[in-house]
């Protein structure tokens, strides 16, 4: 797969919530090859502070315009948020494997489950899923009403959007896992009679993903998860981002087979593949 | 105007320029080939290979610190067999000298590995002796005697150009360098990472699961430069300098201090095009200073 290091001009970098920003720039090279779930490795500074790039998912693609949605959590994302339109941006991408979002025709319903900033890659996924199906459910979890992201964007794509907040200021009072529970439990029988299967795509903080894993294991629903790790190279060269995966058939001979690289083999994994106790 | 040449010959390894990809930062070369033309490098040193596969250290393995990074990868690698059967054939397809970096926890492992790799079409071997020696306390490279014995044994089984890579975590690096030369090494490379640590004051836990890790990047450059300077005065064999090189200016400092070539590690992560930019920068510098070949710069510190 071809990967590009491009230097582009920022079209727009605007604040979308208390601590989240959306940035856009044009890159034909990346836009015409990228898949939902893939990410960019972004240089946040021209100095050695911070030194390393920061991995950020692709949030949207419109024509050749790439959008990222990011939360300011430290120095790198802080510097990114200070950039304005016309400033240069240096990105490497597309990186990683991306979601396997091919649906079985007429018998698979996608549910997108995003916690906090974890919603970022799911919007691009929804953009692509609309090409295949019209009944996408999106479950958005946030700490409170002010931090809910992308609700209007998903609605514009005709997705069925449900919201949860930790303080009950919008949607249900609870977590996005509670929302998912509701999707799985009552409709399970209905889905069965209609011969429909769910396909879940999720991203968010690890404690949430762990609960999603428990839930979908119980109901045996096919699920893909996008994970994060501290990264240096982002391209599979440094072994910095490994994650433990379930026993590989070859692992008796070679234990390294049980470790995958989040940057190259991921960031998207089948939820069953991950050894959740190890994260 | 005279022709400017960047060609060098280090210990019999012919390179079209003195810029090498440092071990562990360039995988087996193939990963970066999707992004850049890896043929621009003078040579590529592979990630450390051990006889048996290694799973490495627990996560987190990487943390950023001021002007650098700490890593505790722990030599994760698929082992000699996979390297020979799967990685090397693809790597050899490129027109760039490949140097295999090898390590082990016992002398015998180094020797066996060097023996296995002797007729594989490699351009050279680099011994990573900055690793714990299970038969004695400490790292191989922390003791001149141990280093001498190890290099001597490896020397006997291979006629490939032999580079010994030194750790800066010693009291006097020149002693280890001398021991390597005396034992038959063809070149010395330095420095490997400097041991360091970092703490999260909120959780009160070390930021690396392994507690300590190796520091690399611009933060280590002054230390690396000093060591290259000291070592190159004490040995006759060529020195490959590395540690925090980000630009052509950094590279030229190492050459002036006595290095015959330089290696680029952490900078590859930040700017995958570093190698090309350094080559261009060195050329410009040579023109401006009327240097015709790299050896004109080496050790020209006034
Ligand atoms: C594949 C991938 C995709 C990502 N996509 C997005 C995205 O679309 N939007 C977004 O806002 N963030 C995303 N992240 C997380 C983002 O990379 C980190 O928030 C960012 O690197 C923090 O950099 P900083 O310099 O601002 O913070 P730092 O000062 O480096 O760290 C501040 C805090 O953030 C944590 N942190 C740092 N790096 C990471 C990381 N890679 N993963 C998790 N926590 C980290 C640190 O442990 C620390 O607690 C993604 C991460 C990965 C691996
Ligand atoms: C992530 C990472 C992994 C490394 N792995 C190895 C290794 O496997 N073997 C080795 O000899 N050196 C290894 N090194 C050390 C580098 O080759 C180099 O000596 C050191 O990083 C200093 O150079 P730099 O500052 O340019 O990175 C590693 C360095 C980093 C940053
Ligand atoms: S970040 Fe380097 S291998 Fe994944």
Residue among A23, A74, A209 whose CB has most ligand 1 atoms within 8 A, to mutate: A74
- How far apart CA A159 and CA A217 sit, in angstroms, is 25
Mean pLDDT confidence for B274-297: 96
Q: Which residue of B has its CA nearest to A258?
A: B55
Residue range A205-233, pLDDT digits in tens: 999 999 999 999 988 889 999 999 999 99
User: What does the pLDDT read at residue B254?
Assistant: 98
Place A1 in a pLDDT band, splitting at 50, 70 and 90: confident
Average the pLDDT over B53-74 and give the result: 95
CATH topology of domain B8-56+74-198+216-296: TIM Barrel (3.20.20)
> Tens digits of per-residue pLDDT, A151-199?
999 999 999 999 999 999 998 999 999 999 988 875 555 666 566 688 9
- CATH code reported for the domain at A101-226+271-278: 3.40.50.80
Give the residue, out of B192, B240, B247, B274, with the most ligand 2 atoms within 8 A of its beta carbon, to mutate for a pocket test: B192
Q: Which of B64, B73, B78 sits opposite A52 (nearest CB)?
A: B64
Residue B269 is encoded by which pair of tokens? Answer: 């992560």
Instruction: Report whether residue B192 contacts ligand 2, using a CB cutoff of 6 Å.
Output: yes
Residue A193, pLDDT score: 58
- Output the pLDDT for position A219: 86
Residue of minimum CA distance from atom 18 in ligand 2: B192
B41 at A interface, C-beta within 8 A: no
Q: Which two tokens stand for residue B77?
A: 């690698």
Could you tell me which of B6, B43, B7, B37 has the C-alpha nearest to residue B276? B37
Catalytic position from the list B131, B154, B187, B261: B131
Q: Is B268 in the pocket of ligand 2 (CB under 6 A)?
A: no
Structure tokens of A110? 């996608």
Q: Is the pLDDT of residue A115 over 90?
A: yes
Interface check for A73 against chain B (CB to CB < 8 A): the answer is no
- To the nearest 10 degrees (0 to 180), the angle between helices B173-182 and B221-234 is 40
Interchain proximity B69–A232, CB inside 8 Å:
yes
- B147 has pLDDT over 90: yes
Beta-carbon separation of B76 and A239 below 8 A: yes
Q: ipTM of the assembly?
A: 0.93
From chain B residues 5-34, the ones with a CB under 8 A of any chain A CB are: 24-27, 31-32, 34
> How high is the pLDDT of residue B2?
66
- Three-state secondary structure readout of chain B: CCCCECCEEECCEEECCCEEECCCCCCCCCCHHHCCCHHHCCEEECCCECCCCECCCCCCCEEEECCEEEECCCCCECHHHHHHHHHHHHHCCCCCCEEEEECCCCHHHHHHHHHHCCCCCCCEEEEECCCECCCCCCEHHHCHHHHHHHHHHHHHHCCCCEEEECCCCCCCHHHHHHHHHHCCCCEEEECCCEEEECEECCCCEECCCCCEEEEECHHHHHHHHHHHHHHHHHCCCCEEEECCCCCHHHHHHHHHHCCCEEEECCHHHHCCCHHHHHHHHHHHHHHHCCCCEHHHCCCCCC
Q: pLDDT digits over A85-106, tens only? A: 999 999 999 999 999 998 777 6
Interface test with B, best of A50, A239, A278 (most B CBs within 10 A): A239
B222 CB within 8 Å of a chain A CB: no
* pLDDT tens profile B23-57: 999 999 889 999 999 999 999 999 999 999 999 99
Q: Which of A176, A172, A168, A173 is nearest to A137 (CA)?
A: A176
Domain ranges of chain B: 8-56+74-198+216-296
Residue A195, pLDDT score: 60
Q: Which two tokens stand for residue B213?
A: 């890790």
Closest C-alpha residue for ligand 2 atom 1: A238
Lowest mean pLDDT among A118-127, A247-256, B53-62: A247-256
Q: Got the DSSP string for chain A?
A: ---EEEEEEEEEEEE-SSSEEEEEEE-HHHHTT--TT-EEEEE--SSSSS-S-EEEE--EEETTEEEEEEE--SHHHHHHHH--TT-EEEEEEEES-----PPPTTTEEEEEEEEGGGGHHHHHHHHHHTTT-S--EEEEEESSGGG--SHHHHHHTT-EEEEEETTSSSSEES-HHHHHHHHHTTHHHHHHHTT-EEEEEEES-HHHHHHHHHHHHHHT-EEEEE-----SSSSSSS-TTEEEBSPPTTTTT-GGGGEEETTTT-SEEEGGGB-GGG-
Mutate to test the interface with A, among B30, B31, B73, B79 (most CBs of A within 10 A): B31
Within 6 Å (CB) of ligand 1, which residues are found? A 39, 50, 54-57, 69-71, 73-78, 117, 120, 228-231, 267
In this prediction, residue B141 carries a pLDDT of 86
Per-residue pLDDT for B189 more than 70? yes
**Total-model pTM:** 0.95
Query: Which atom of ligand 1 lies closest to the CA of A226?
Result: 1
Round to whole Å and give the CA distance between B269 and B62: 13
> Exposed, middle or buried, B258 (CB in 10 Å: 0-12/13-18/19+)?
buried
* CATH code 2.40.37.10 for A4-95: no
Min Cα separation B288/chain A (Å): 26
pLDDT attached to residue B1: 54
B36 contacts in chain A (CB < 8 Å): 5
d(CA B130, CA B142): 8
Query: Which of B36, B59, B69 has its CB closest to that of A52?
Result: B69
Report how far ligand 2's centroid is from the alpha carbon of B74 (Å). Answer: 11
State the distance from the centre of ligand 1 to the C-alpha of B229, rounded, in angstroms.
39
- Domain extents for chain A? 4-95, 101-226+271-278
Distance between Cα B27 and ligand 3 center (Å) = 9
Mean pLDDT, rounded, of chain B:
95
Specify whether B131 is catalytic. yes
Contact B71 A232 (CB under 8 A): yes
Query: Most distant CA pair in chain B: distance in Å?
Result: 62
Predicted pLDDT at A116: 95
Residue B3 in this model has a pLDDT that exceeds 90: no
Ligand 1 atom with the shortest distance to the CA of A50: 25
- pLDDT confidence of residue A191: 61
Distance CA B227, CA B263 (A): 15
Which of B 257-296 lie inside 8 A of A, CB atoms?
A: 266, 268-273
**pLDDT attached to residue A253:** 72
């Amino acid at each position: 797969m071809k990967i590009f290091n491009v230097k582009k001009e920022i079209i727009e970098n605007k604040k979308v919530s208390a601590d989240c920003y959306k940035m856009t720039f044009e890159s034909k090279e990346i836009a015409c090859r990228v898949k939902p779930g893939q990410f960019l490795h972004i240089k946040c500074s021209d100095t050695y502070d911070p030194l390393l790039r920061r991995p950020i998912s692709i949030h949207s693609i419109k024509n050749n315009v790439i959008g990222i949605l990011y939360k300011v959590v430290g120095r790198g994302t802080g510097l990114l948020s200070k950039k304005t339109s016309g400033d240069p941006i240096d990105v490497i991408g597309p990186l990683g494997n991306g979601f396997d979002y091919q649906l079985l025709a007429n018998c698979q319903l996608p549910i997108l489950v995003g916690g906090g900033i974890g919603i970022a890659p799911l919007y691009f996924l929804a953009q692509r899923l609309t090409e295949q199906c019209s009944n996408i459910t999106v479950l958005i979890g946030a700490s409170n009403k002010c931090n809910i992201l992308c609700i209007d964007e998903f609605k514009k794509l005709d997705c069925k959007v449900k919201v949860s907040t930790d303080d009950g200021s919008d949607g249900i009072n609870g977590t996005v896992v509670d929302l998912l529970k509701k999707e799985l439990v009552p409709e399970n029988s209905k889905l069965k009679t209609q011969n429909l299967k769910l396909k879940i795509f999720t991203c968010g903080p690890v404690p949430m993903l762990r609960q999603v894993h428990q839930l979908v294991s119980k109901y045996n629903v096919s699920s893909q998860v996008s994970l994060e790790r501290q990264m240096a190279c982002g391209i599979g060269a440094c072994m910095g981002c490994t994650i433990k995966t379930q026993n590989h058939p070859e692992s008796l001979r070679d234990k390294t087979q049980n470790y995958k690289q989040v940057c190259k083999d991921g960031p998207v994994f089948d939820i069953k593949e991950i050894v959740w106790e190890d994260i | 105007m005279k022709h400017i040449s960047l060609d060098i010959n280090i210990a019999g390894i012919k390179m079209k320029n003195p810029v090498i990809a440092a071990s562990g930062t360039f995988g087996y070369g193939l990963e970066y080939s999707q992004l850049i033309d890896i043929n621009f490098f003078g040579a590529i040193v592979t990630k450390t290979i051990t006889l048996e596969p290694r799973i490495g250290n627990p996560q987190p393995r990487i943390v950023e610190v001021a002007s650098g990074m700490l890593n505790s990868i722990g030599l994760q690698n698929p082992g000699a067999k996979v390297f020979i059967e799967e990685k090397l054939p693809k790597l050899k397809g490129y027109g760039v000298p490949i140097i295999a970096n090898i390590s082990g926890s016992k002398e015998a492992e180094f020797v066996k590995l060097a023996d296995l790799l002797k007729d594989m079409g490699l351009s050279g071997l680099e011994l990573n002796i900055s690793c714990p020696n299970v038969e004695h306390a400490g790292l191989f490279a922390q003791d001149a005697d141990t280093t001498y014995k190890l290099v001597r044994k490896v020397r006997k089984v291979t006629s490939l150009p032999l580079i010994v890579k030194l750790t800066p975590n010693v009291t006097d690096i020149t002693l280890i360098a001398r021991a390597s030369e005396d034992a038959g090494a063809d070149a010395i490379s330095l420095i490997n990472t400097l041991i360091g640590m970092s703490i999260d004051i909120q959780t009160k836990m070390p930021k690396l699961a392994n507690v300590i890790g190796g520091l690399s990047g611009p933060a280590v450059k002054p230390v690396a430069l000093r060591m290259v300077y000291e070592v190159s005065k004490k040995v006759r064999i060529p020195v490959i300098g590395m540690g925090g090189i980000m630009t052509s200016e950094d590279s030229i400092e190492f050459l002036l201090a006595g290095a015959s070539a330089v290696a680029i590690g952490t900078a590859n992560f930040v700017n995958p095009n570093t190698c090309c930019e350094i080559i261009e920068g060195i050329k410009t510098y040579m023109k401006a200073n009327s240097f015709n070949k790299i050896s004109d710069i080496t050790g020209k510190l006034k």
